[in-house]
């Protein structure tokens, strides 16, 4: 078993087409997706805590691992929007990785203050994992009102990794995710604003398939020329812009096992830098946390 994983297995090495003209970057069925301007007017909290509106199409973001300002030796994963068309990108959220009892955990907030102070209004929630890293749970921040009902936190999603799939031609990862099927909204009052939250997965959700959406990872195809498994990101050769680099952490999630429309995908574009693209029914927070689960090193995967 390996704790450190190579970043050179999945994903092509051909160039991305520019993000500002990505009408068919991901899927032929995504050609009708709305431009960035349709979601760039949404407040940060709406992008993070509410499902992306169905008529918006997809939202493209960048995940970067960078030093925390004023905290020597501390690195945070930052989530930025990719506005394009001359608009300034926004910093939506940050996450800090740690380990407790050998298990990975992430603290997620809108800014570093919420990372280091769980009572701060910018605190969003946390991600916890089992020892092998085969299962990650996505939690909201909870509230004193909920704690009176013994429900201090809502389970907003689960990500599971299947032990490495080995074939005669090589190996690749497989993952699945579950999120609440009817992500209705609840209002939570704070001193500064009203925050909208989704309901979590119900108790015993594993036996209630009608209460949860299940997402499947798209299986990569074997590239005979490169002698490895690769995901098809449908970029156009010859265009300038970020390149998707080969990485075992790249993935594409779909609603059906052989579905065409990509709901969430992650592609490595540099050292500790990834491109994230998500759409309804995910919230930005769920999408970010799912990507962090894939980025994290884990014992259950040998690649």
Q: What is the pLDDT of residue 160?
A: 96
Q: Which residues of the chain have pLDDT under 50?
A: 1-5, 9, 12-34, 144-150, 185-195, 235-240
User: Distance between CA 198 and CA 124 in Å, rounded?
Assistant: 12
pLDDT of residue 190: 47
Q: Is residue 236 part of a domain?
A: no
Q: Give the chain's end-to-end CA distance (angstroms, integer).
A: 9
Residue 227 belongs to some domain of the structure: no
Q: Please report where in the chains the tokens 């999120």 appear, as a residue.
A: 179
Is 16 domain-assigned? no
Residue 264 confidence (pLDDT): 95
For residue 130, tell me if it sits in a domain: yes
Give the model's pLDDT for residue 277: 92
Q: What is the pLDDT of residue 42?
A: 87
Q: Which pLDDT score, from 0 to 100, does residue 159 have?
A: 97
Which pLDDT does position 39 carry in this prediction?
A: 79
User: What is residue 151's predicted lDDT score, i.e. its pLDDT?
Assistant: 54
Q: 288: which DSSP letter? A: H
**CATH code at position 97:** 3.20.90.10
Does 300 map to a domain? no
Burial class (CB in 10 A: 0-12, 13-18, 19+), 140: buried
Query: What domain count does the chain have?
Result: 1
Boundaries of domain holding 180: 32-216+272-295
The residue written with tokens 């009608």 in the block is 210
Residue 142 lies in a domain: yes
Residue 5 placed within a domain: no
Residue 255 lies in a domain: no
């Amino acid at each position: 078993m390996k704790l450190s994983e190579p970043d050179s297995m999945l994903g092509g090495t051909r160039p991305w087409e520019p993000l500002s003209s990505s009408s068919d970057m991901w899927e032929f069925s995504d050609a009708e997706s709305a431009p960035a301007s349709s979601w760039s007017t949404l407040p940060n909290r709406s992008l993070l805590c509410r499902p992306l509106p169905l008529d918006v199409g997809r939202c493209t973001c960048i995940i970067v691992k960078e030093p925390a300002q004023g905290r020597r030796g501390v690195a945070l994963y930052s989530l930025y929007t990719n506005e394009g068309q001359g608009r300034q990108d926004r910093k939506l959220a940050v996450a800090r990785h740690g380990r407790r009892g050998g298990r990975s955990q992430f603290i997620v907030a809108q800014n570093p203050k919420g990372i280091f102070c769980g009572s701060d209004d910018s605190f969003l929630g946390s991600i916890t994992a089992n020892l092998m890293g085969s299962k990650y749970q996505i939690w909201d921040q909870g509230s004193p009102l909920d704690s009176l009902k013994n429900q201090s936190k809502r389970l907003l999603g689960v990500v599971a990794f299947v032990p490495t799939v080995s074939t005669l031609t090589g190996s690749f990862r497989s993952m699945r995710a579950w999120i609440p099927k009817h992500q209705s909204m609840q209002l939570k009052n704070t001193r500064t604003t009203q925050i909208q939250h989704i309901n979590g997965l119900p108790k015993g959700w594993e036996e209630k398939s009608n209460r949860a959406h299940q997402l499947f990872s798209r299986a990569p195809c074997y590239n005979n020329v490169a002698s490895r498994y690769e995901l098809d990101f449908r970029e156009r050769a010859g265009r300038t812009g970020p390149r998707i680099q080969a990485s075992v952490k790249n993935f594409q999630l779909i609603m059906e096992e052989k579905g065409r429309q990509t709901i969430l995908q992650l592609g490595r574009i540099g050292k500790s830098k990834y491109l994230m693209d998500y759409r309804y029914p995910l919230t930005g927070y769920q999408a970010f946390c799912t990507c962090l689960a894939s980025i994290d090193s884990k014992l259950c995967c040998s690649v």
